[in-house]
Chain A
Amino acid sequence: MTIPVRLRVNNAPRQHDIEPRVLLVHYLRDVCGLTGTHVGCETGICGACTVLVDGKAVKSCTVFAVQADGSEITTIEGLAANGVMHPVQQGFWECHGLQCGYCTPGMIMAAVHLLTKQKAPTRGQIASGLRGNLCRCTGYTHIIDAVSYAASHATEAAHV
Protein backbone atom coordinates (compact mmCIF):
# COMPACT_ATOMS: atom_id res chain seq x y z
CA MET A 1 0.00 0.00 0.00
CA THR A 2 1.24 3.49 -0.80
CA ILE A 3 -0.38 6.72 0.32
CA PRO A 4 -0.25 10.11 -1.37
CA VAL A 5 1.47 12.67 0.84
CA ARG A 6 1.48 16.41 0.11
CA LEU A 7 3.42 18.74 2.33
CA ARG A 8 5.75 21.71 2.18
CA VAL A 9 9.42 21.30 2.96
CA ASN A 10 11.37 24.53 3.45
CA ASN A 11 8.63 26.43 1.62
CA ALA A 12 8.61 24.15 -1.42
CA PRO A 13 5.57 21.98 -2.13
CA ARG A 14 6.25 18.24 -2.30
CA GLN A 15 4.01 15.38 -3.31
CA HIS A 16 4.91 11.70 -3.25
CA ASP A 17 3.29 8.30 -2.97
CA ILE A 18 4.98 6.53 -0.08
CA GLU A 19 4.56 3.49 2.11
CA PRO A 20 2.93 4.45 5.43
CA ARG A 21 5.83 2.90 7.35
CA VAL A 22 8.33 5.42 5.98
CA LEU A 23 9.59 7.55 8.84
CA LEU A 24 9.71 11.31 8.34
CA VAL A 25 13.51 11.33 8.69
CA HIS A 26 13.90 8.79 5.87
CA TYR A 27 11.38 10.65 3.74
CA LEU A 28 13.38 13.86 4.14
CA ARG A 29 16.77 12.25 3.55
CA ASP A 30 16.02 9.56 0.96
CA VAL A 31 13.00 10.90 -0.91
CA CYS A 32 13.65 14.65 -0.70
CA GLY A 33 17.46 14.32 -0.67
CA LEU A 34 17.78 16.64 2.33
CA THR A 35 20.57 14.89 4.21
CA GLY A 36 21.19 17.74 6.65
CA THR A 37 18.79 16.05 9.06
CA HIS A 38 20.82 13.33 10.74
CA VAL A 39 19.98 9.87 12.05
CA GLY A 40 21.61 9.03 15.36
CA CYS A 41 19.95 6.62 17.74
CA GLU A 42 16.69 5.93 15.86
CA THR A 43 15.02 5.49 19.26
CA GLY A 44 13.85 9.03 20.03
CA ILE A 45 16.60 9.75 22.52
CA CYS A 46 19.42 11.66 20.79
CA GLY A 47 17.58 14.43 18.93
CA ALA A 48 19.91 14.38 15.87
CA CYS A 49 16.83 14.01 13.65
CA THR A 50 14.98 17.05 15.03
CA VAL A 51 13.02 19.10 12.47
CA LEU A 52 10.19 21.60 12.77
CA VAL A 53 6.68 20.44 11.89
CA ASP A 54 4.37 23.45 11.75
CA GLY A 55 6.95 25.34 13.79
CA LYS A 56 7.34 22.77 16.55
CA ALA A 57 10.47 20.69 17.12
CA VAL A 58 9.87 16.96 16.72
CA LYS A 59 12.09 13.91 16.44
CA SER A 60 11.56 12.85 12.84
CA CYS A 61 12.74 9.27 13.51
CA THR A 62 9.62 8.78 15.63
CA VAL A 63 7.04 10.24 13.24
CA PHE A 64 5.64 8.56 10.14
CA ALA A 65 5.84 10.82 7.09
CA VAL A 66 2.09 10.25 6.54
CA GLN A 67 1.42 11.86 9.93
CA ALA A 68 2.99 15.06 8.57
CA ASP A 69 0.71 15.12 5.50
CA GLY A 70 -0.43 18.70 4.94
CA SER A 71 2.21 20.16 7.27
CA GLU A 72 4.95 22.72 6.82
CA ILE A 73 8.34 21.15 7.53
CA THR A 74 11.51 23.12 8.20
CA THR A 75 14.87 21.37 8.13
CA ILE A 76 18.34 22.77 8.73
CA GLU A 77 18.58 23.45 4.97
CA GLY A 78 15.63 25.84 5.23
CA LEU A 79 16.89 28.09 8.01
CA ALA A 80 19.19 30.52 6.24
CA ALA A 81 17.31 33.15 4.24
CA ASN A 82 18.91 34.60 1.11
CA GLY A 83 22.36 33.47 2.21
CA VAL A 84 22.03 35.05 5.67
CA MET A 85 22.37 32.58 8.51
CA HIS A 86 19.63 32.27 11.10
CA PRO A 87 20.68 33.79 14.47
CA VAL A 88 21.00 30.29 15.97
CA GLN A 89 23.30 29.19 13.13
CA GLN A 90 25.27 32.42 13.60
CA GLY A 91 25.51 31.65 17.33
CA PHE A 92 26.97 28.18 16.65
CA TRP A 93 29.45 29.79 14.24
CA GLU A 94 30.51 32.58 16.60
CA CYS A 95 30.66 30.50 19.80
CA HIS A 96 32.21 27.35 18.36
CA GLY A 97 29.06 25.38 19.16
CA LEU A 98 30.20 22.25 17.38
CA GLN A 99 33.08 19.84 17.05
CA CYS A 100 32.23 16.90 14.76
CA GLY A 101 28.91 18.51 13.88
CA TYR A 102 26.83 15.35 13.99
CA CYS A 103 24.35 16.60 16.59
CA THR A 104 24.37 20.16 15.27
CA PRO A 105 21.37 20.21 12.88
CA GLY A 106 19.16 18.71 15.59
CA MET A 107 20.53 21.03 18.28
CA ILE A 108 19.90 24.05 16.06
CA MET A 109 16.35 23.05 15.15
CA ALA A 110 15.44 22.35 18.79
CA ALA A 111 17.00 25.69 19.81
CA VAL A 112 15.03 27.53 17.12
CA HIS A 113 11.79 26.21 18.58
CA LEU A 114 12.97 26.86 22.14
CA LEU A 115 13.63 30.53 21.31
CA THR A 116 10.11 30.94 19.93
CA LYS A 117 8.81 29.86 23.36
CA GLN A 118 11.37 31.65 25.54
CA LYS A 119 12.81 34.85 24.10
CA ALA A 120 15.48 35.37 26.76
CA PRO A 121 16.18 31.98 28.35
CA THR A 122 18.63 31.52 31.20
CA ARG A 123 21.48 29.02 30.76
CA GLY A 124 19.48 26.59 32.88
CA GLN A 125 16.43 26.99 30.68
CA ILE A 126 18.53 26.40 27.56
CA ALA A 127 20.00 23.25 29.09
CA SER A 128 16.58 21.85 30.01
CA GLY A 129 15.13 22.93 26.66
CA LEU A 130 17.85 20.96 24.87
CA ARG A 131 17.52 17.96 27.19
CA GLY A 132 16.38 15.83 24.26
CA ASN A 133 19.55 16.49 22.25
CA LEU A 134 22.76 14.64 22.98
CA CYS A 135 26.21 15.76 21.85
CA ARG A 136 28.63 12.90 21.71
CA CYS A 137 31.52 15.36 21.59
CA THR A 138 30.04 16.74 24.84
CA GLY A 139 30.39 20.36 23.77
CA TYR A 140 27.45 21.46 25.86
CA THR A 141 29.03 24.61 27.30
CA HIS A 142 29.62 26.09 23.87
CA ILE A 143 26.22 24.93 22.65
CA ILE A 144 24.57 26.84 25.48
CA ASP A 145 26.81 29.84 24.68
CA ALA A 146 25.64 29.61 21.06
CA VAL A 147 21.95 29.62 21.96
CA SER A 148 22.45 32.51 24.43
CA TYR A 149 24.22 34.41 21.66
CA ALA A 150 21.30 33.74 19.33
CA ALA A 151 18.79 34.91 21.94
CA SER A 152 20.59 38.20 22.48
CA HIS A 153 21.17 38.81 18.75
CA ALA A 154 17.78 37.64 17.49
CA THR A 155 16.11 41.04 17.77
CA GLU A 156 18.97 42.71 15.89
CA ALA A 157 18.80 40.04 13.20
CA ALA A 158 15.07 40.57 12.78
CA HIS A 159 15.87 44.10 11.56
CA VAL A 160 18.49 43.02 9.02
Chain B
Amino acid sequence: MYPANFDYVRPSSVDEAVALLQKHGDDAKVLAGGHSLIPAMKLRLAQPHVVIDIGRIATLSYIREAGGTIAIGATTTHSEVETSKLLREKCPLLSETASHIGDLQVRNKGTIGGSLVHADPASDYPAPILALEAEIDLVGPRGKRTVRADQFFVDLLQTAIAADEILTEVRVPVTSPSVAYIKTEQKASGFALAGVAVVASPSGVRVGVTGVAPKAYRATAVEQTIGNQRTAHAIELAAAHAADGVEPLGDIHASAQFRAHLARVNTRRALERALSR
Protein backbone atom coordinates (compact mmCIF):
# COMPACT_ATOMS: atom_id res chain seq x y z
CA MET B 1 0.00 0.00 0.00
CA TYR B 2 1.96 2.95 -1.30
CA PRO B 3 0.59 6.48 -1.05
CA ALA B 4 0.65 8.64 -4.19
CA ASN B 5 3.85 10.62 -4.74
CA PHE B 6 4.33 13.93 -3.02
CA ASP B 7 6.98 16.55 -2.32
CA TYR B 8 8.37 16.55 1.19
CA VAL B 9 9.47 19.58 3.17
CA ARG B 10 10.73 19.78 6.73
CA PRO B 11 10.47 23.30 8.14
CA SER B 12 12.48 24.12 11.25
CA SER B 13 10.14 26.72 12.72
CA VAL B 14 6.40 27.36 13.05
CA ASP B 15 6.72 30.54 10.95
CA GLU B 16 8.36 28.58 8.15
CA ALA B 17 5.61 25.94 8.35
CA VAL B 18 2.88 28.59 8.19
CA ALA B 19 4.58 30.24 5.19
CA LEU B 20 4.68 26.86 3.43
CA LEU B 21 1.00 26.27 4.16
CA GLN B 22 0.18 29.70 2.76
CA LYS B 23 2.24 29.05 -0.35
CA HIS B 24 0.80 25.63 -1.14
CA GLY B 25 -2.78 26.08 0.06
CA ASP B 26 -5.05 23.08 -0.35
CA ASP B 27 -2.26 21.08 -2.02
CA ALA B 28 -0.42 20.76 1.28
CA LYS B 29 -0.88 18.68 4.44
CA VAL B 30 0.92 18.94 7.74
CA LEU B 31 2.56 15.72 8.96
CA ALA B 32 3.13 15.21 12.68
CA GLY B 33 3.23 11.58 13.89
CA GLY B 34 1.59 10.40 10.67
CA HIS B 35 -0.59 7.85 12.44
CA SER B 36 -3.79 9.24 10.99
CA LEU B 37 -2.43 10.94 7.86
CA ILE B 38 -0.34 8.03 6.52
CA PRO B 39 -3.21 5.49 6.75
CA ALA B 40 -5.44 8.03 4.93
CA MET B 41 -2.74 8.57 2.27
CA LYS B 42 -2.32 4.83 1.75
CA LEU B 43 -6.04 4.54 1.07
CA ARG B 44 -5.74 7.66 -1.13
CA LEU B 45 -8.41 9.34 0.96
CA ALA B 46 -5.79 12.07 1.30
CA GLN B 47 -3.52 12.89 -1.66
CA PRO B 48 -1.53 16.00 -0.75
CA HIS B 49 1.01 17.20 -3.32
CA VAL B 50 3.17 18.63 -0.57
CA VAL B 51 3.74 17.16 2.88
CA ILE B 52 5.03 19.57 5.51
CA ASP B 53 6.72 17.56 8.27
CA ILE B 54 6.53 19.51 11.53
CA GLY B 55 7.94 16.56 13.49
CA ARG B 56 11.39 18.15 13.90
CA ILE B 57 10.32 21.62 15.04
CA ALA B 58 12.02 21.47 18.43
CA THR B 59 9.95 24.29 19.93
CA LEU B 60 6.71 22.31 19.49
CA SER B 61 7.55 19.45 21.87
CA TYR B 62 7.29 20.19 25.60
CA ILE B 63 5.17 19.83 28.73
CA ARG B 64 5.56 22.70 31.21
CA GLU B 65 3.69 24.41 34.01
CA ALA B 66 2.84 28.10 33.83
CA GLY B 67 0.56 29.85 36.31
CA GLY B 68 -1.99 27.19 37.26
CA THR B 69 -2.07 25.63 33.81
CA ILE B 70 0.05 23.04 32.07
CA ALA B 71 1.07 23.78 28.50
CA ILE B 72 1.67 20.93 26.08
CA GLY B 73 3.37 21.45 22.73
CA ALA B 74 1.58 20.12 19.65
CA THR B 75 4.07 17.41 18.71
CA THR B 76 4.26 15.92 22.21
CA THR B 77 3.65 12.20 21.75
CA HIS B 78 0.97 10.19 23.50
CA SER B 79 3.74 8.28 25.39
CA GLU B 80 5.22 11.55 26.61
CA VAL B 81 1.81 12.64 27.93
CA GLU B 82 1.26 9.17 29.44
CA THR B 83 4.54 9.18 31.35
CA SER B 84 4.94 12.88 32.20
CA LYS B 85 5.53 13.25 35.94
CA LEU B 86 4.13 16.78 35.86
CA LEU B 87 0.88 15.69 34.22
CA ARG B 88 0.55 12.60 36.41
CA GLU B 89 0.71 14.80 39.48
CA LYS B 90 -1.16 17.87 38.33
CA CYS B 91 -3.49 16.86 35.53
CA PRO B 92 -3.72 13.06 35.81
CA LEU B 93 -6.76 12.82 33.52
CA LEU B 94 -4.66 13.58 30.46
CA SER B 95 -1.98 10.97 31.28
CA GLU B 96 -4.64 8.40 32.13
CA THR B 97 -6.35 9.02 28.79
CA ALA B 98 -3.09 8.87 26.84
CA SER B 99 -2.32 5.46 28.37
CA HIS B 100 -5.52 4.14 26.73
CA ILE B 101 -4.66 5.27 23.18
CA GLY B 102 -3.98 2.48 20.68
CA ASP B 103 -0.89 0.56 21.75
CA LEU B 104 2.75 1.08 22.76
CA GLN B 105 3.94 1.69 19.19
CA VAL B 106 1.07 4.03 18.27
CA ARG B 107 1.69 6.06 21.43
CA ASN B 108 5.36 6.40 20.52
CA LYS B 109 4.51 8.17 17.23
CA GLY B 110 1.10 9.82 17.55
CA THR B 111 0.93 13.42 18.82
CA ILE B 112 -1.64 15.39 20.78
CA GLY B 113 -1.82 18.10 18.11
CA GLY B 114 -2.33 15.58 15.32
CA SER B 115 -5.02 13.77 17.24
CA LEU B 116 -6.97 16.97 17.97
CA VAL B 117 -6.71 18.37 14.43
CA HIS B 118 -7.67 15.05 12.87
CA ALA B 119 -10.77 14.97 15.14
CA ASP B 120 -11.57 11.34 14.54
CA PRO B 121 -14.93 10.79 16.27
CA ALA B 122 -13.42 7.72 17.96
CA SER B 123 -10.25 9.39 19.24
CA ASP B 124 -9.67 9.61 22.98
CA TYR B 125 -8.27 13.08 23.71
CA PRO B 126 -11.41 15.10 22.86
CA ALA B 127 -13.21 13.71 25.94
CA PRO B 128 -10.69 14.99 28.53
CA ILE B 129 -9.98 18.14 26.49
CA LEU B 130 -13.68 19.07 26.77
CA ALA B 131 -14.03 18.01 30.41
CA LEU B 132 -10.90 19.99 31.34
CA GLU B 133 -12.08 23.05 29.39
CA ALA B 134 -8.68 23.16 27.71
CA GLU B 135 -7.48 25.99 25.50
CA ILE B 136 -5.92 25.46 22.11
CA ASP B 137 -3.52 27.84 20.35
CA LEU B 138 -3.57 28.14 16.58
CA VAL B 139 -0.93 30.08 14.67
CA GLY B 140 -1.45 31.32 11.11
CA PRO B 141 -0.53 34.18 8.79
CA ARG B 142 -2.76 36.48 10.85
CA GLY B 143 -0.93 35.63 14.07
CA LYS B 144 -1.96 33.54 17.08
CA ARG B 145 -5.48 32.94 18.37
CA THR B 146 -6.77 30.86 21.24
CA VAL B 147 -9.82 28.62 20.87
CA ARG B 148 -11.73 27.10 23.77
CA ALA B 149 -12.22 23.34 23.65
CA ASP B 150 -16.01 23.64 23.27
CA GLN B 151 -15.49 25.84 20.18
CA PHE B 152 -12.79 23.63 18.66
CA PHE B 153 -14.64 20.48 17.61
CA VAL B 154 -17.01 21.38 14.77
CA ASP B 155 -18.14 18.12 13.16
CA LEU B 156 -16.90 14.71 12.01
CA LEU B 157 -13.17 15.24 11.19
CA GLN B 158 -13.72 19.01 11.32
CA THR B 159 -12.34 21.53 13.76
CA ALA B 160 -12.05 25.31 14.07
CA ILE B 161 -8.52 25.29 12.58
CA ALA B 162 -8.12 27.11 9.25
CA ALA B 163 -6.25 25.50 6.34
CA ASP B 164 -3.28 27.85 6.80
CA GLU B 165 -2.96 27.42 10.57
CA ILE B 166 -0.82 25.18 12.78
CA LEU B 167 -1.95 23.98 16.19
CA THR B 168 0.94 24.89 18.47
CA GLU B 169 -0.14 24.35 22.07
CA VAL B 170 -2.83 22.84 24.30
CA ARG B 171 -3.31 24.18 27.83
CA VAL B 172 -5.03 22.26 30.60
CA PRO B 173 -5.71 23.35 34.19
CA VAL B 174 -4.15 21.84 37.28
CA THR B 175 -6.84 19.61 38.83
CA SER B 176 -7.44 17.51 41.92
CA PRO B 177 -7.04 13.72 41.56
CA SER B 178 -10.86 13.39 41.30
CA VAL B 179 -10.85 12.57 37.59
CA ALA B 180 -11.35 9.46 35.48
CA TYR B 181 -11.40 8.24 31.90
CA ILE B 182 -13.29 5.06 31.07
CA LYS B 183 -13.65 3.67 27.58
CA THR B 184 -14.89 0.65 25.75
CA GLU B 185 -12.57 0.17 22.81
CA GLN B 186 -12.75 -1.35 19.39
CA LYS B 187 -10.67 -4.45 20.05
CA ALA B 188 -8.26 -4.34 17.12
CA SER B 189 -7.27 -0.68 16.98
CA GLY B 190 -8.16 0.51 20.46
CA PHE B 191 -10.26 3.42 19.14
CA ALA B 192 -13.16 4.40 21.42
CA LEU B 193 -16.65 3.03 20.89
CA ALA B 194 -17.55 5.19 23.88
CA GLY B 195 -15.04 7.03 26.06
CA VAL B 196 -16.07 9.18 29.00
CA ALA B 197 -13.89 11.67 30.88
CA VAL B 198 -14.97 13.14 34.21
CA VAL B 199 -13.47 16.05 36.14
CA ALA B 200 -15.06 16.43 39.58
CA SER B 201 -14.77 19.30 42.05
CA PRO B 202 -16.84 20.17 45.14
CA SER B 203 -18.95 22.57 43.07
CA GLY B 204 -19.84 20.12 40.30
CA VAL B 205 -18.63 17.73 37.62
CA ARG B 206 -17.73 18.13 33.96
CA VAL B 207 -18.22 15.24 31.56
CA GLY B 208 -16.74 14.82 28.06
CA VAL B 209 -17.89 12.00 25.79
CA THR B 210 -16.09 10.70 22.69
CA GLY B 211 -16.70 7.87 20.22
CA VAL B 212 -20.47 8.12 20.43
CA ALA B 213 -21.46 11.01 18.16
CA PRO B 214 -19.93 12.55 14.99
CA LYS B 215 -18.05 14.88 17.33
CA ALA B 216 -17.12 14.68 20.99
CA TYR B 217 -19.46 16.55 23.32
CA ARG B 218 -19.99 17.78 26.87
CA ALA B 219 -22.77 15.76 28.53
CA THR B 220 -24.39 18.85 30.04
CA ALA B 221 -27.58 17.00 31.03
CA VAL B 222 -25.47 14.69 33.21
CA GLU B 223 -23.61 17.64 34.73
CA GLN B 224 -26.84 19.49 35.56
CA THR B 225 -28.63 16.44 36.94
CA ILE B 226 -25.87 15.49 39.33
CA GLY B 227 -24.99 19.04 40.46
CA ASN B 228 -23.12 18.61 43.73
CA GLN B 229 -24.89 15.40 44.79
CA ARG B 230 -22.56 12.45 45.35
CA THR B 231 -24.75 9.44 46.21
CA ALA B 232 -24.82 6.25 44.16
CA HIS B 233 -28.44 6.96 43.36
CA ALA B 234 -27.67 10.46 42.08
CA ILE B 235 -24.84 9.07 39.91
CA GLU B 236 -27.16 6.45 38.45
CA LEU B 237 -29.86 9.00 37.64
CA ALA B 238 -27.40 11.48 36.12
CA ALA B 239 -25.55 8.91 33.99
CA ALA B 240 -28.82 7.96 32.30
CA HIS B 241 -28.62 11.31 30.47
CA ALA B 242 -25.19 10.66 28.88
CA ALA B 243 -26.51 10.40 25.32
CA ASP B 244 -29.36 12.91 25.59
CA GLY B 245 -29.78 15.06 22.50
CA VAL B 246 -27.10 13.35 20.41
CA GLU B 247 -27.50 11.21 17.32
CA PRO B 248 -25.17 8.29 18.02
CA LEU B 249 -23.04 6.81 15.24
CA GLY B 250 -23.74 3.26 14.12
CA ASP B 251 -21.27 1.11 12.14
CA ILE B 252 -19.89 -2.42 11.88
CA HIS B 253 -18.21 -2.05 15.28
CA ALA B 254 -21.27 -0.99 17.27
CA SER B 255 -24.86 0.02 16.56
CA ALA B 256 -26.11 3.49 17.50
CA GLN B 257 -28.17 1.99 20.29
CA PHE B 258 -25.21 0.10 21.71
CA ARG B 259 -22.99 3.23 21.62
CA ALA B 260 -25.64 5.21 23.52
CA HIS B 261 -25.85 2.38 26.07
CA LEU B 262 -22.06 2.33 26.48
CA ALA B 263 -22.06 6.11 26.94
CA ARG B 264 -24.45 5.75 29.87
CA VAL B 265 -22.63 2.80 31.46
CA ASN B 266 -19.19 4.37 31.08
CA THR B 267 -20.47 7.69 32.42
CA ARG B 268 -21.71 5.95 35.55
CA ARG B 269 -18.39 4.13 35.97
CA ALA B 270 -16.31 7.25 35.31
CA LEU B 271 -18.38 9.26 37.82
CA GLU B 272 -18.00 6.51 40.42
CA ARG B 273 -14.26 6.30 39.89
CA ALA B 274 -13.62 10.05 39.82
CA LEU B 275 -15.69 10.65 42.95
CA SER B 276 -13.94 7.85 44.84
CA ARG B 277 -10.48 9.33 44.16
Say if A and B assemble together: yes
User: A132 contacts B8, CB within 8 Å?
Assistant: no
State whether the Cβ of A135 lies closer than 8 Å to any Cβ in chain B. Answer: no
Q: If the complex has contacts A20-B6, A21-B4, A62-B39, are A57 and B108 also in contact, measured as CB distance less than 8 A? A: yes
* Chain A residues in 8 Å Cβ range of B103: 47, 131-133
The answer, among A21, A43, A45, for a CB contact under 8 Å with B3, is A21
User: A50 contacts B38, CB within 8 Å?
Assistant: no
Q: If the complex has contacts A47-B105, A58-B108, are A131 and B190 also in contact, measured as CB distance less than 8 A? A: yes
The answer, among A64, A129, A131, for a CB contact under 8 Å with B34, is A64
**Complex CA–CA separation, A1 to B34 (angstroms):** 20
* Chain B residues in 8 Å Cβ range of A110: 104-105
* Chain A residues in 8 Å Cβ range of B5: 1, 19-21
State whether the Cβ of B145 lies closer than 8 Å to any Cβ in chain A. Answer: no
User: Please, which residue of chain A has its CB at the minimum distance from the CB of B4?
Assistant: A21
Question: Which of A1, A43, A58 counts the most B-chain CB atoms under 10 A from its CB?
Answer: A58
Q: If the complex has contacts A58-B108, A63-B34, A64-B34, are A132 and B102 also in contact, measured as CB distance less than 8 A? A: yes
User: Please, which residue of chain B has its CB at the minimum distance from the CB of A114?
Assistant: B104
User: B2 contacts A58, CB within 8 Å?
Assistant: no
CB distance from A62 to the nearest CB of B (A): 5
8 A Cβ contacts from B1-17 to A: 1-8, 10
Q: B residues touching A (Cβ–Cβ < 8 Å)?
A: 1-8, 10, 31, 34-35, 38-39, 41-42, 51, 53, 55, 79, 102-106, 108-109, 188-190
The answer, among B8, B39, B102, B108, for a CB contact under 8 Å with A56, is B108
Known: A44-B106, A44-B189, A59-B105. 5 other contacts (CB 8 A): A21-B3, A59-B106, A62-B35, A64-B38, A132-B102
User: Please, which residue of chain A has its CB at the minimum distance from the CB of B190?
Assistant: A131
* A interface size (C-beta, 8 A): 31
The answer, among A1, A59, A114, A129, for a CB contact under 8 Å with B8, is A1
User: A20 contacts B35, CB within 8 Å?
Assistant: no
The answer, among A23, A44, A45, A131, for a CB contact under 8 Å with B104, is A131
25 contacts between A and B (CB under 8 A): A1-B7, A1-B8, A20-B5, A21-B6, A21-B41, A22-B2, A26-B2, A42-B42, A44-B39, A44-B189, A47-B105, A50-B105, A56-B79, A58-B105, A58-B109, A59-B105, A62-B34, A62-B38, A63-B38, A63-B109, A64-B31, A64-B34, A66-B8, A66-B10, A132-B104
State whether the Cβ of A86 lies closer than 8 Å to any Cβ in chain B. Answer: no
**Complex CA–CA separation, A64 to B4 (angstroms):** 13
The answer, among B2, B108, B189, for a CB contact under 8 Å with A23, is B2
**Complex CA–CA separation, A45 to B106 (angstroms):** 9
User: Please, which residue of chain B has its CB at the minimum distance from the CB of A53?
Assistant: B108
* Chain A residues in 8 Å Cβ range of B106: 44, 59, 132
**Complex CA–CA separation, A38 to B55 (angstroms):** 26
* Chain B residues in 8 Å Cβ range of A67: 31, 34, 53, 55
User: B104 contacts A129, CB within 8 Å?
Assistant: yes
CB distance from A110 to the nearest CB of B (A): 6
User: Please, which residue of chain B has its CB at the minimum distance from the CB of A60?
Assistant: B105
CB distance from A94 to the nearest CB of B (A): 23
User: Please, which residue of chain B has its CB at the minimum distance from the CB of A21?
Assistant: B3
The 7 closest A-B CB pairs, nearest first, are: A132-B103, A20-B8, A131-B103, A56-B108, A59-B105, A42-B1, A132-B105
* Chain B residues in 8 Å Cβ range of A58: 105, 108-109
User: Please, which residue of chain A has its CB at the minimum distance from the CB of B7?
Assistant: A1
The answer, among B10, B31, B188, for a CB contact under 8 Å with A45, is B188
* Chain B residues in 8 Å Cβ range of A44: 35, 39, 106, 189
Interface string of A125-139 (1 = CB under 8 A from B): 000011111000000
